[in-house]
Chains A and B, each alone.
Chain A
Amino acid sequence: MLLSGWFIALLSAGYLGLLFAVARFGDARADAGRSIISANVYALSLAVYCTSWTFYGSVGRASSGGLSFLTIYLGPTLMLLFTGVILKMIRISKVHRITSIADFVASRYGKSQLLAGLVTVIAVVGIVPYIALQLKAVAASLEVLFRQSGVAVLPWGLDSTFLIAVVLALFSILFGTRHLDATERHEGMVAAVAVESAVKLVAFLAVGLFVTYGMYGGLSDLFRQAAGHPDLLRLLQVDGSRAGNWAALILVSGLAIVFLPRQFQIIVVENVDEAHVKRAVWLFPLYLLLINLFVLPLALGGLLHFQGQAFNADTFVLTLPLAHGAEALALLVFIGGLSAATGMVIVETIALSTMVCNDLVMPWLLRSTWLQAEKRQDLSGLLLGIRRAAIALILLLGYVYFRVAGEAYALVGIGLISFAAVAQFAPAMFGGMYWKQGTHSGAVAGLLGGFAVWLYTLLLPSFARSGWIGDGFVAQGLFGIAGLKAQALFGLAGLDEISHCLFWSLFANIGLYVAVSLNSRPDAVEAGQAERFVDVYRYGGRESETRLWRGTASVDALFGLLERFLGPARSQQQLAAYAATRGAADWRTLPADAELVHFAEAELAGAIGSASARVMVASVAQEETLGLEEVLDILDEATQVRAYSRELEIKSQELEAATTELRAVNERLRELDRMKDDFISTVTHELRTPLTSIRALSEMLHEDPKLELGERTRFLGIIVAETERLTRLINQILDMAKLESGRAEWTTGLVDIGDVVRESMASLEQLFRDKGVRLDSELPTQGPQVLADRDRLMQVMINLLSNAVKFVPGRDGRVRVRVGVDGGMVRVEVIDNGPGLTAGESVVIFEKFRQGGNTLTAKPQGTGLGLPISRQIVEYFGGNLWVESRPGEGANFIFTVPLPAPEA
């Protein structure tokens, strides 16, 4: 029931309709400016690589060649890892508005119409077998389904394969050529391809799981059963005798992933964001891995199941579920296979039709008198018509090839013929991207040579094999010369036909490309393009483009040209957008300068290819031809200017940095100068205070001889105290100066800190008793010992203790001294219950002449140098001095001195 003809037709139509709806949705979103092409969609759309070949053919290949089917997927995995190559290709294509691989090659070698045409012919001829493969696969799958249900295959006496070709052609036309786009981007198509990719993966995994786990007891069971048959055992092992073939297949598939017209379309032309490539680098190979996981199990399952019967290994994915009555699964598989074929055909024919239209038909039309006569006509409709016809023609050719040669080959065999054909683009493409000396003549020679060898060693023998032409040149060699045997050229036998063809064709291709390139001179346009392709990251902008064009043109003529090829609405829209970028309100007011000409050429290139666009623009603009030397000079100049400006930029940055540095140094110097001034004025001030009081008292004593004895003694006492203070101050200033200049004398030895603390406490005992302050201590009885200057440490200790006693209140004042060891450091704490310090004060008291307490109202109680000196001393010994305190909660002065390192 499920398998009746009408149901299958309905299901297929429904599925294609769904794809169409997805495409419409994608296009609508793109028009609205909200692209649905994300990194994941991009990666998934790359899986258009997996066609019927993968879906049906891989299993067939695996059942005769074992694991060698995997090479077709390992090559792309490795190729994508060379992301730099792909990104460069994308960048070049964006900068030059390249819309196909033919355009790429033509544009690189001087916008040559000859090369564009040649690449197009090779691509079309090369891809025809591949299209035939899809038709054959879909036809075979239908046959399997109908054979099962007993429905007549040809309801109206029609050839089913032809019918399929017609349906696919209609669908591709509907899909890809609804409108002309300057960039030839089809976001809707990409979205549909992504969906299609997901469907075929699900379908294939489903049948893989069904066969492996439903029909057999899992992977190991399947492999064990297969190992029991000597024929099948061979398939499980990697065959080392075919090492060369293995490497050749990896190479050819690695090249195919970028040079197949549809892959170039998806990877390069349809790329909306270079960052998407990063995702594709691993997600697409992951897709390939998943879709191949069950290929070998399916092949083994099929071979085991149909042992002794007639079978076609290419259709195992369908016949196995059918043999077990899983009709729904078989339908799913059929849809998956249809999906794989349609996806490929749509993208491939769209890519090829663009090439045929732009690079074969347009150049011819542009020369014909008919077009000259219809000067004012809108040609955008004609362009679409040509593309549609090209799609139909390509599918027709595919059908013809299928009739002529298709029966003689398995699916993979047909596909590999196409792979070998597109591999011929590799030298011209890679050389064009990385080798400036590659020339137009070299590319033409290489392509022609490679293509000729491919024709002779692969395509013609495929016709001969089906008996369509005589096979004399294969069996005995052309004209009976044994050295010219098509598949053992010059006696090179022992390789399979693909490796053989690949070897000779690439040998001829690369050899001719390099040799002719080195012996020919590029013309001006070509040399310019070579520079811009190879150094694409350097010539990013429009700048050098416009410098390379000199001549006169009129805005009206250019507009007329755009209108003819893009249609009036679209060209007005593009011009308005362009005028906006140049800040003009109306495009009619724009000057007809080099930039406008370049813009027009780029727009046209999107529609009719770079070679034709160049011819068209030249027809309305009077261009001065530049000589080769001149072009190279201009490009060179541009590079030099850029290099100079970069150098200048670096220099100015360096200057700026130096200036900032100098400014900072100057700032620091001025700060130091100010500090010195401050210091001197403070010192003077500090010295003057005691001097003034000494002088005042001395004058009183001098002038009044009748002063009472008691008064006299008191005055003299004050004079003595002030003199002492003066002496102390001068000593400390000298001390400070010595410490700071590093000329202080140190006598370092082992010092028992406990001792030092005890001694200094004893020496200040009287002071404490006088003020009624309690002095406690928490000391170990002996040690700890450190390497330091005993007198200096004493100085620090006495300073801290006398500070403490100064600030605690009389009578209930308390000071505690604690000595301990903490992680390799001796830690001495002097804790008081004085008024405490704010966070700000805790910092400034270590500055010179800053005193604790309010210095404005109270008489200064110290010199303001004790703490800075103490800190210098402690730091000299490798320790630290700081204070922990909060207002109202007393202060805790702590210093540390490192313990001597233990002797080894």
Chain B
Amino acid sequence: MTRMRPLRQRLAMLGLFGLPLLTFPLLGLPAGDWFGLPAGYVYLFGVWAGLIALAARVAERQGK
């Protein structure tokens, strides 16, 4: 359990960090086209993928 503690906190931190990124007002900022695609689409999937990648890093590194 003590081993899991820092992991839980790191993941929770990611959650607290992701929440404002994935809601308004920050969500309203991307506008126009990014890489030829709608900015909102790229932004949402980008932030989402980033969160997943970070979570994977945190979760799998601690397991070692």
Contact = CB atoms under 8 A, between A and B. Distances in A.
A286 B52 contact: yes
A678 to B, nearest CB: 50
B11 A83 contact: yes
A223 B37 contact: yes
Given A77-B51, A237-B40, A247-B23, A87 B4 contact: yes
B41 A78 contact: no
Contacts of B62: 278
A293 B31 CA distance: 20
A219 B37 contact: yes
A619 B24 CA distance: 56
A881 B4 CA distance: 51
Contacts of A243: 23-25, 27-28
Given A74-B48, A78-B15, A278-B63, A84 B40 contact: no
Interface in A41-100: 67, 70, 74, 77-79, 81-84, 87
A74 B22 contact: yes
A230 to B, nearest CB: 15
A240 B53 CA distance: 27
A219 B23 CA distance: 25
Contacts of A81: 11-12, 14-15, 18, 51, 55
Interface in A761-789: none
A223 B35 CA distance: 12
Contact of A285 (B7, B40, B55, B63): B55
Contact of A537 (B1, B11, B51): B1
A238 B30 contact: yes
A67 B41 contact: yes
B48 A282 contact: no
A220 interface: yes
Is the contact region of chain B dominated by helix, strand, or loop, or is it mixed? helix
Contacts of B41: 67, 223, 236, 296
Contacts of A82: 11-12, 15
A240 B24 contact: yes
**A74, A275, A282 interface centre (most CB from chain B within 10 Å):** A282
A846 interface: no
Interface in B12-59: 12, 14-15, 18-19, 22-25, 27-28, 30-31, 35-38, 40-41, 44-45, 48-49, 51-53, 55-56, 59
A647 B3 CA distance: 21
A83 B63 CA distance: 14
A77 B44 CA distance: 13
A289 B4 CA distance: 26
Contacts of B53: 282
Interface residues of B, number: 38
A83 B62 CA distance: 14
A250 interface: yes
Contacts of B48: 74, 77, 285, 289
Given A83-B7, A278-B7, A289-B48, A247 B55 contact: no
A92 to B, nearest CB: 14
Q: Which of A67, A83, A246, A250 has the most CB of B within 10 A?
A: A83
Contacts of A67: 40-41, 44
B24 A246 contact: yes
A223 B37 CA distance: 7
Contacts of B44: 67, 70, 74, 238
Contact of B28 (A220, A236, A240): A240
Contacts of A220: 35-37
Contact of B40 (A78, A238, A293): A238
Given A78-B18, A275-B63, A236 B40 contact: yes
A296 B24 CA distance: 20
Interface string A233-251: 0001110100100110010
A259 B30 CA distance: 33
Nearest to A91: B1
Given A67-B41, A220-B36, A243-B24, A84 B63 contact: no
Interface in A209-258: 219-220, 223-224, 227, 236-238, 240, 243, 246-247, 250
B15 to A, nearest CB: 3
A620 interface: no
Contacts of A84: 8-9, 11-12
Report which residue of A70, A78, A79, A275 has the largest number of chain B beta carbons within 10 angstroms of its beta carbon: A78
Contacts of B55: 81, 281-282, 285
B27 A238 contact: yes
B27 A246 contact: yes
Contacts of A236: 38, 40-41
A865 to B, nearest CB: 56
Contact of B59 (A74, A250, A282): A282
Contact of B22 (A78, A227, A283, A293): A78
A215 to B, nearest CB: 18
A250 B12 CA distance: 16
Contacts of B19: 78, 250
Contacts of A247: 23-24
B61 to A, nearest CB: 10
B23 A246 contact: yes
B58 to A, nearest CB: 8
A434 to B, nearest CB: 14
A190 B49 CA distance: 26
Query: Which has the most chain A C-beta neighbours within 10 Å: B8, B30, B31, B62?
Result: B8
Contacts of B51: 77, 81, 285
Contacts of A223: 36-38, 41
A220 B41 CA distance: 12
Nearest to A283: B56
A485 B43 CA distance: 38
A246 B53 CA distance: 24
B1 to A, nearest CB: 6
A581 to B, nearest CB: 23
Contacts of B14: 81
A279 interface: yes
A282 B7 CA distance: 13
A219 B38 CA distance: 10
Contacts of B63: 275, 278
A236 B53 CA distance: 25
A83 B23 contact: no
Contact of A77 (B1, B18, B35, B60): B18
Nearest to B28: A240
B53 to A, nearest CB: 8
A130 to B, nearest CB: 25
B18 to A, nearest CB: 6
Given A77-B18, A282-B52, A83 B36 contact: no
Contact of A281 (B9, B11, B36, B49): B11
B42 to A, nearest CB: 10
Contacts of A250: 19, 22-23
Nearest to A237: B40
Interface centre among B1, B22, B30 (most CB of A within 10 A): B22
Contacts of A275: 63
A520 B23 CA distance: 38
Nearest to B31: A237
A296 B44 CA distance: 12
A42 to B, nearest CB: 13
26 contacts: A67-B40, A67-B44, A74-B48, A77-B18, A78-B18, A81-B15, A83-B11, A83-B12, A87-B8, A237-B31, A238-B28, A238-B30, A240-B24, A243-B23, A243-B24, A243-B25, A246-B24, A247-B23, A247-B24, A250-B22, A278-B60, A279-B60, A281-B11, A281-B59, A282-B56, A289-B49
Given A78-B22, A81-B12, A282-B56, 13 more contacts: A74-B22, A77-B48, A79-B15, A83-B11, A84-B11, A220-B37, A223-B36, A223-B37, A237-B38, A246-B27, A250-B22, A282-B60, A289-B49
Report the 9 A-B pairs with minimum CB-CB distance, sorted nearest first: A81-B15, A243-B24, A282-B56, A238-B40, A84-B8, A236-B38, A220-B36, A240-B28, A282-B55
